[in-house]
Structure 1
Amino acid sequence: MSFFQCVWCPAVLGSTLSGVLLLSSCSAPAAPSVGAPPVVSPDSTVRVAAGTQYLRGPIHRFFWGKHYRQLWATPVEAPVFNLRTAVPGGLTPVREGGSFQTKNLRLLDRNGGQYVLRSVDKDATKALPEGLRDGPIGRLMKDQTSVINPYGAYIVAPLAQAAGVYHTNPRLVYVADDPAMGEFRQSFANALYLFEERPEGDQRGVSSFGRSARVESSRKVFTTLMYNPQHRIDARWYLRARLFDMWLGDWSRREDQWRWASFPAAGGATVYRAIPRDRDHAFFKFDDGLLTHVIGWVKSNYQSFHQKIRLGDVEGLNRAARPMDKSLLVYLTAQDFEQVADSMQRSLSDKVIRDALALWPKEVYAQAGGEFDENLRGRRNQLKAVAAKFYELLAREIEIPGTDQPERFVIEPNGAGKVRISQYSLHAGRPDSLTGQRVFSYEQTRSIKVFGLGGNDVFELRGLPDHRFEIGIYDGAGQDVVHVTITPEDADKPANVMIYNSGDGNTITAPKPVKVEAYVPAATEFDAAGWLLRHRLF
Structure 2
Amino acid sequence: MTYSLRTVDKRSAKILPLPIRKTFIANVVRDQASALHPYGALVVAPLAQAAGVPHATPRLVYVRPGEAHFDQYEEKLSDRLYMLEEKYNDQRAISGEIAGAHDIVGPNKMLNHRYEENDHFIDQLAFARARLLDLLIGDWDRHVGQWEWAEYKENGEHLYRPIPKDRDNAFYRFGGGLFSWLFSRKWAIRKFESFTADYKDVKALMINSEFFDARAMPHVTGEQFDSLAHVLQKEISDQVIEQAVRQLPKEVYLLQRKELASQLKSRRDKLDEAAREFYEILSVRVLVVGTDKEDRFEVKRMAGGDTEVVVRRKSDKVVMYRRVFLPAETKEIVLHGLAENDIFWVRGEADKGIQIKIVGGRGQDEIYDTSEVQGWGKKTWVYDTPRETKLEGGPETKDKTSRKPEVNFFDREGYRR
Indicate which of 397, 412, 417 corresponds to 1:532.
412
| Preserved contact between residue 248 and residue 305 of structure 1 (Cα < 8 Å) | yes
Residue aligning to 2:101? 212
Residue aligning to 2:127? 238
Residue aligning to 2:59? 171
The alignment's C-alpha RMSD in Å is: 2.1
Cα distance, 1:286 vs structure 2: 0.8
Residue aligning to 1:302? 192
| Preserved contact between residue 367 and residue 392 of structure 2 (Cα < 8 Å) | yes
Structure-1-length-normalised TM-score: 0.73
Question: What SS does structure 2 have at the residue aligned with 1:354?
Answer: helix
Partners of 2:302 and 2:110 lie apart in 1 by 34
Question: What SS does structure 1 have at the residue aligned with 2:322?
Answer: strand
Cα distance, 1:290 vs structure 2: 3.2
Residue aligning to 2:140? 251
The change in CA–CA distance for 1:472 and 1:139 in structure 2 (over 3 A counts) is closer
| Preserved contact between residue 412 and residue 465 of structure 1 (Cα < 8 Å) | no
The change in CA–CA distance for 1:513 and 1:317 in structure 2 (over 3 A counts) is closer
Indicate which of 198, 204, 215 corresponds to 2:87.
198
Cα distance, 1:213 vs structure 2: 3.9
Partners of 2:176 and 2:302 lie apart in 1 by 50
Counterparts of residues 417-456 of structure 1 (less than 5 Å): 417-427=305-315, 431-456=316-341
Which structure 2 residue ranges, 5 or more long, are not aligned?
none
The change in CA–CA distance for 1:409 and 1:521 in structure 2 (over 3 A counts) is farther
Question: What SS does structure 2 have at the residue aligned with 1:532?
Answer: coil
Partners of 1:120 and 1:213 lie apart in 2 by 33
1:423 alignment partner AA: V
| Preserved contact between residue 284 and residue 332 of structure 2 (Cα < 8 Å) | yes
Residue aligning to 1:221? 110
Partners of 1:316 and 1:193 lie apart in 2 by 29
| Preserved contact between residue 160 and residue 167 of structure 1 (Cα < 8 Å) | yes
Partners of 1:245 and 1:213 lie apart in 2 by 26
After superposing the two structures, state which structure 1 stretch, 393-402 or 514-523, moved more: 514-523
- Work out whether 1:271 is the aligned partner of 2:159: yes
Q: State the Cα deviation string for residues 504-538 of structure 1 (Å, max 9, x = none).
A: 31111123342323235674x635xx4214x2399
- Work out whether 1:122 is the aligned partner of 2:10: yes
Question: What SS does structure 2 have at the residue aligned with 1:389?
Answer: helix
| Preserved contact between residue 31 and residue 180 of structure 2 (Cα < 8 Å) | no
1:514 alignment partner AA: T
Count how many residue pairs are aligned between Structure 1 and Structure 2. 413
2:115 alignment partner AA: M
The change in CA–CA distance for 1:115 and 1:211 in structure 2 (over 3 A counts) is farther
Residue aligning to 1:286? 174
| Preserved contact between residue 454 and residue 526 of structure 1 (Cα < 8 Å) | no
Partners of 1:387 and 1:210 lie apart in 2 by 29
Question: What SS does structure 2 have at the residue aligned with 1:138?
Answer: helix
Q: 1 or 2 for the larger relative contact order (CA 8 Å, sep ≥6)?
A: 2
2:390 alignment partner AA: T
Partners of 2:170 and 2:404 lie apart in 1 by 38
Cα distance, 1:299 vs structure 2: 1.9
The change in CA–CA distance for 1:205 and 1:409 in structure 2 (over 3 A counts) is closer
Partners of 1:465 and 1:240 lie apart in 2 by 34
Which structure 1 residue ranges, 5 or more long, are not aligned?
1-112
Residue aligning to 1:470? 355
